[in-house]
Structure 1
Amino acid sequence: MARALYIHWPFCLKKCPYCDFNSHVRDGVDHELWQRSLLADMEREAGIAGGETLTSIFFGGGTPSLMPPALVAALLERAEQLWGFDPGIEITLEANPSSVEAAKFAALASAGVNRVSLGVQALDDKVLKFLGRLHGVDEALAALDVAQRHFARTSFDLIYARPNQSMADWEAELTRALSFGTDHLSLYQLTIEPGTRFERLVRDGAFAPLEDDPAADLFTLTRQITAAHGLPAYEVSNHARPGQQSRHNLAYWRYQDYAGIGPGAHGRRHATATTRHKKPENWLSAIEAQGDGIQEARQLSIREQAAEAMLMGLRLAEGVDLAALSTRFGLSPEELATPARLELYERQGLVWNEGPRIGVTEPGMLVLNALIGELVPTELVV
């Protein structure tokens, strides 16, 4: 049963050159239309999925901080009516760290948002310009200060492994970021995604991405520094003080059901994967025609579910419980992870095995994707 709700707001003021998320720039947005449509999508999803009391809601995008606080409040009010809220519910909203959006933080907090994730991305104005961001460092830090005064929990993102970035530069930047006292950081390596402007610039020779070896060194340094400051990595790119992990994202990584509404939103309920129309106009048309924005609802086989649970769970520092997954999916532990390869990579120090739980060690995280491909049997993922 779904205990997490994802709400996608697809609009941005500008498309960042590295971004391959479902974000769109529009001259104007009819907020009344979007409120009606998001509420319709939510009500249809609740009617189909049912579900337990919500423990988390996440407004993602796009740039959800562009939403009027009254719209956020209306969505939260209806979600509580449809599902009910756990007393300790986590309600996160992604925000750009601009002065204009920071001015909404008090109203967003009053609407019910209790956790914010700020897209700071860098603590260097030249780098922010390279990344196509509209804010500067001073503005971002002012917004961070406002956020910490209004929200119970604050996280922010940084992008590293940028072209020509040195170990010393990143250590100084990350150490400064940790000095601001947030309980959570999302630290992502710059990747050149297909279809983005950065992909075209790289292809045209405008700049060269950081090579794999120095990027790996920065990854290791990142985990060392955050752990030393009390925010160890609990997932590949996410770091938190104990007890301050993103509960919503943990629902994904622990392969729990969640509802997803809004353009391009994914969801999973009753072993069915749902995908909604990505283009805002197509999503609106679907709402008008069928009462929801669903483009596809596909039944997942037991083996597909098990493979996804393994792929997601091995991203976590806590690893996966093979016995629990075996019971859940009716498959043997040997069908979930190849014993001979598990033993081999444990001897090499890339995997740990403690009773029913297995996970990836610090050295193993450097080669996580390849390692998962080795551990999870081919017949499970085909």
Structure 2
Amino acid sequence: MAYEIYIHVPFCMRRCGYCDFNTYTATDLGGGASRGNYAAMVIKEMKLVRQWQLDHGIDEPAVSTVFFGGGTPTILPAADLIRMLDAIRSIWGIENGAEITTEANPDTVDAEYIKTLADGGFTRISFGMQSAVPHVLRTLDRTHTPANVEAGVRAADHAGLRSSVDLIYGAPGESLDDWRTSVRAAVGLGVNHISAYALTVEPTTKMGRMIAAGRLPKPDDDDEAAKYEIADDLFSEAGLQWYEVSNWARPGYESRHNLGYWRNVDWAGLGPGAHSHYASPDALRSWDIAHPRLWGTAIAEGRVPWQGSEHISPEEDLEETIMLGLRLREGLDLKRVESKLGHEMDRSQLNTLSHDGLIVLDGDRVIPTRRGRLLNDALIGDFFDLCDL
């Protein structure tokens, strides 16, 4: 049984025009939630969450993965990230060989910072690369340069950390050749893991408002599909296999933390807006108060800082199992689905999905094809229909 910790760091130097994450640029947000005091507040939350778990009969095993996300975790001193990691070790324990990752803005780290992380127990760093093309980076409001990314990856290599880079495709004004340039640049870094996400435009963001006003072109579905295929081809040629719809890795370098999410393991989310998931004794999801000041006030009052929680019904659990399984190269386990359904499926009905080129069947597993990945929402909907969901 795996148990994971996610720590959300809500601070950024500036807000990117496409971002709608729960992030803030102020150094002090009140209620004890400041950059300088953040590690101490998260450690207090850890203790509250651990006590809540024990009070509810949940005795988690040693932590198998830790992931610091944001925001920009590396806006904090490396020593603060290590303090939080050490607190996890003392409160829950960390299993031998655990995967310990932080996201990093290439602008906020140097070789000394990265070595400090490695010496403090981190094993992996994920750089927000987004693009290797200057005009695309400007459109995304990113301030780093491709040289910053390469310097970070080389420093990580030297310190013995695994590296990953994140790319975004579909930015307004990005041509197919621009995207090929970015993919080839990412491959050229020699990293063993790359994530590539289609740009999602939220109406409340600066970019969303510019698109609504006609000042930027709206992302095009066909363009994004073509870019996905370019990425899949070039990554595959370089020896990086897809293992989740938006993630590619050399065998053995997959993100164990993210695989935990897709396999629906237990995890505790710490920090403003972070989500948690518990499979037993009652399936439950919860989410922290989003605003750091109110989150900090709850912690200061000795309360687990949840905004809310809900029990996951058996039908919702089955839906999540299907949705997550159909995103993975390892595929959806039909026996697991049938166990949750309470009866065997008429597997002949899957022939339609196979005939349409959306899936392949490998024993008891349903594996999405590339077409199935591109049309993932439709594939999931069709599978729901087969299960009468």
Note whether the superposition's TM-score is higher than 0.5.
yes
2:364 to 346, 356, 363: 356
Corresponding position: 1:273 with 2:273: no
Corresponding position: 1:44 with 2:48: yes
1:332 to 337, 343, 352: 343
* Count of aligned residue pairs for this structure pair: 377
Corresponding position: 1:283 with 2:295: yes
Tell me the CA shift for residue 32 of structure 1.
5.2
Tell me the CA shift for residue 80 of structure 1.
1.2
Task: Indicate the larger mover: 369-378 or 185-194.
Answer: 369-378
Give the TM-score, by structure 2 length: 0.91
Moved over 6 A (4+): none
Q: Quickly say closer, same or farther: Cα 1:118–1:302, change in 2 above 3 A.
A: same
**Number of the residue aligned with 1:16:** 16
Task: Indicate the larger mover: 249-258 or 98-107.
Answer: 98-107
Q: Is the 8 A contact 2:62 2:92 kept in 1?
A: yes
**Number of the residue aligned with 2:246:** 237
Give the TM-score, by structure 1 length: 0.93
Deviations 1:267-325 (A, max 9, x none): 11121101101111111111123432211121111111111121112111111112134
Distance 1:178 1:232 in 2: 12
Distance 1:380 1:52 in 2: 36
Question: For the aligned residues, what is the CA RMSD?
Answer: 2.0
Question: Letter of the aligned partner of 2:326 in structure 1?
Answer: L
Question: Letter of the aligned partner of 1:17 in structure 2?
Answer: G
Distance 1:86 1:346 in 2: 41
Q: Is the 8 A contact 2:243 2:249 kept in 1?
A: yes
Tell me the CA shift for residue 380 of structure 1.
6.8
Distance 1:101 1:60 in 2: 18
Q: Quickly say closer, same or farther: Cα 1:180–1:50, change in 2 above 3 A.
A: same
Distance 2:314 2:94 in 1: 30
Q: Quickly say closer, same or farther: Cα 1:332–1:377, change in 2 above 3 A.
A: farther
Q: Is the 8 A contact 1:17 1:198 kept in 2?
A: yes
Task: Indicate the larger mover: 340-349 or 99-108.
Answer: 99-108
Q: Secondary structure at the match of 1:215?
A: helix
Question: Letter of the aligned partner of 1:344 in structure 2?
Answer: T
**Number of the residue aligned with 1:87:** 96
Question: Letter of the aligned partner of 2:263 in structure 1?
Answer: R
**Number of the residue aligned with 1:132:** 141
Deviations 1:224-265 (A, max 9, x none): 111111001111111100010000000001111111111111
Deviations 1:62-112 (A, max 9, x none): 100112222212211121122222211000000000165554212122221
Distance 1:260 1:223 in 2: 31
Corresponding position: 1:163 with 2:167: no
2:320 to 308, 311, 316: 308
**Identity over the aligned pairs, expressed in percent?**
35
Distance 1:380 1:308 in 2: 15
Q: Is the 8 A contact 2:192 2:253 kept in 1?
A: yes
Q: Quickly say closer, same or farther: Cα 1:26–1:332, change in 2 above 3 A.
A: farther
Deviations 1:114-156 (A, max 9, x none): 1000001111222211111121222232222222222421001
Distance 1:249 1:288 in 2: 31
**Number of the residue aligned with 2:354:** 346
Q: Is the 8 A contact 1:304 1:380 kept in 2?
A: no
The runs of 5 or more residues in structure 1 that have no matched partner are: none
Q: Quickly say closer, same or farther: Cα 1:179–1:50, change in 2 above 3 A.
A: same
Deviations 1:9-35 (A, max 9, x none): 111111111112111111446445322
Question: Letter of the aligned partner of 1:23 in structure 2?
Answer: T
Tell me the CA shift for residue 166 of structure 1.
3.0
Distance 1:30 1:170 in 2: 38
Q: Is the 8 A contact 1:116 1:151 kept in 2?
A: no
Distance 2:302 2:317 in 1: 28
The runs of 5 or more residues in structure 2 that have no matched partner are: none
**Number of the residue aligned with 2:128:** 119
Distance 2:161 2:344 in 1: 40
